Structure 1
Amino acid sequence: MSSLEDRLHDALTGDDPGRTLSPDLFDRVVDSIGDDRVRRRRLRRTIAIWATVIALATTAVIALQREGTGMPWWVLEIVTTLGLVAIALWLGPFIKRFGRAYAADVFHDNPLTGKSYIVLTDVVYYLIFTAYILFTVRFEPEPSWSHTGLVIDATAGQLKFEVERVGGILLIIGVLHGVNIVLMPVLGRLFSLNRRLPDKVGRL
């Protein structure tokens, strides 16, 4: 047989003596399949929750319109606040999922430091989201939401305010995440130098 045929034969039959199989390959494949199932289950649960919330909100609005009344201002406030909480619970794991490989590459000389960095950034992330929600939530209507100053139902002014709440937190998280992406390689390099410096001094 030719060289190509020999290589194909060895690859398909597993007779290549120079090839060593990873002992944990099967476990990693099983874990990967399990993680994929968990992500799909979480995605289905998230979609179901959002669909339920939208259906309930739509039903409430239709019921209020049939009664000849508008939607109370506090309903829109609660819906927006719940939306911010949902964004926080979804966006955090989403960023962490795709940021692990990046952090592992940056902190390849200090794996434990990389894991600690991810945990600390998660804490900061949720603290920022919590503080933003607490700072922007309203327990009474703002006079600026209406030209008359009397606000009972949801108005265009309140809708603009709630949209700005959502856009504001997305902008803040986006800017901070971008800064984190830029600074992380610098921090990883500094940690690597700090770790190698004592070794070089000890050898001298």
Structure 2
Amino acid sequence: MSDLEYRLARALTDYPIEPSSDLFERVVDSIEADRVRRRSMLRWSLVGLLALVLAITAVLTLTPRVNGALAMPWWILEVATNLVLAAIALWLGPFIKRFGRAYAADVFHDNPQTGKSYIVLTDIVYYLIFTAYILFSVKVAPDRDWADVTPITNVTAGQVTYELSRIGGILLIIGILHGLNIVLMPVLGRLFSLNRRFPDPSAGDRATRA
């Protein structure tokens, strides 16, 4: 073992490591916060399930029948799809943010505040994309391509296909953007880290003049 390796090994092994004085309190608070988060998720999941059951029951009860078959007005499916898109946005955003904090903290370990700001900015972009997608794809009148008959008053196979493509489209867009974010985040973290390590030229000029 060289002298440098010996000195490094001694410095690392002999360095006094003392636990933080509030370590136990932070662990307890973290466990309690996790319990509260799990209870909240369970509560909202039950509320969402109950709301879904009530909505389906109301639709089946209020929807008229033509020759014994359900004839749902086209706007009911349109409203239901918009509610599904909004529910996906409200559920998927916090889900991605929850697991993205640790990744951002690891990437921006030299700039923790920058990492927090980056997460907030990506949240804003996320909800802007969802809102714009819903507004761009919403229908206030039935599309002529949904059926061969005119006027269209009930749900058709063409409308079902269109609404399913809306849900799949936003999931595809968010998936692609999220993948790009995962790839680009380490690059940005590296750039911010290098920028912080570079000396300030103005400081050198002031030291020279002094």
Give the TM-score normalised by the residue count of structure 2: 0.81
| Alignment partner, residue 38 of structure 2 | 40
How do residues 108-123 of structure 1 correspond to structure 2 at under 5 angstroms? Answer: 108-123=109-124
**Aligned partner of residue 198 in structure 2, secondary structure:** helix
Establish whether residue 49 from structure 1 lines up as the match of residue 47 from structure 2: yes
CA distance in 1, matches of 2:196, 2:18: 33
Q: Is the 8 A contact 1:107 1:188 kept in 2?
A: yes
| Alignment partner, residue 103 of structure 2 | 102
**Aligned partner of residue 81 in structure 2, secondary structure:** helix
After alignment, is 26-35 or 164-173 more displaced? Answer: 26-35
Aligned partner letter, 2:95:
F
Gaps spanning 5+ residues in structure 1: where? 1-17
CA distance in 2, matches of 1:52, 1:179: 36
Q: CA deviation at 1:66?
A: 6.5
Q: CA deviation at 1:40?
A: 1.4
Gaps spanning 5+ residues in structure 2: where? 1-15
Q: CA deviation at 1:45?
A: 2.8
Aligned partner letter, 2:149:
T
| Alignment partner, residue 194 of structure 2 | 193
Q: Is the 8 A contact 1:64 1:70 kept in 2?
A: no
Q: CA deviation at 1:100?
A: 0.6
Q: Is the 8 A contact 2:64 2:72 kept in 1?
A: no
CA distance in 1, matches of 2:138, 2:34: 36
CA distance in 2, matches of 1:152, 1:45: 37
Aligned partner letter, 1:187:
L
CA distance in 1, matches of 2:120, 2:195: 21
Aligned partner letter, 1:30:
V
CA distance in 2, matches of 1:108, 1:186: 13
Q: Is the 8 A contact 1:110 1:191 kept in 2?
A: yes
| Alignment partner, residue 74 of structure 1 | 75
| Alpha-carbon displacement from aligned partner over 1:51-100 (angstroms, at most 9, x marks no partner) | 12321232133224575451111111111101111110110110010011
Q: CA deviation at 1:147?
A: 1.9
Establish whether residue 177 from structure 1 lines up as the match of residue 178 from structure 2: yes
CA distance in 1, matches of 2:51, 2:77: 12
After alignment, is 151-160 or 170-179 more displaced? Answer: 151-160
CA distance in 2, matches of 1:32, 1:174: 30
RMSD of aligned alpha carbons: 2.2
After alignment, is 141-150 or 83-92 more displaced? Answer: 141-150
Give the TM-score normalised by the residue count of structure 1: 0.83
Evaluate the alpha carbon distance shift between residue 122 and residue 65 of structure 1 in structure 2; reply closer, same or farther with a 3 A threshold: closer
Identity %: 64
CA distance in 1, matches of 2:56, 2:171: 25
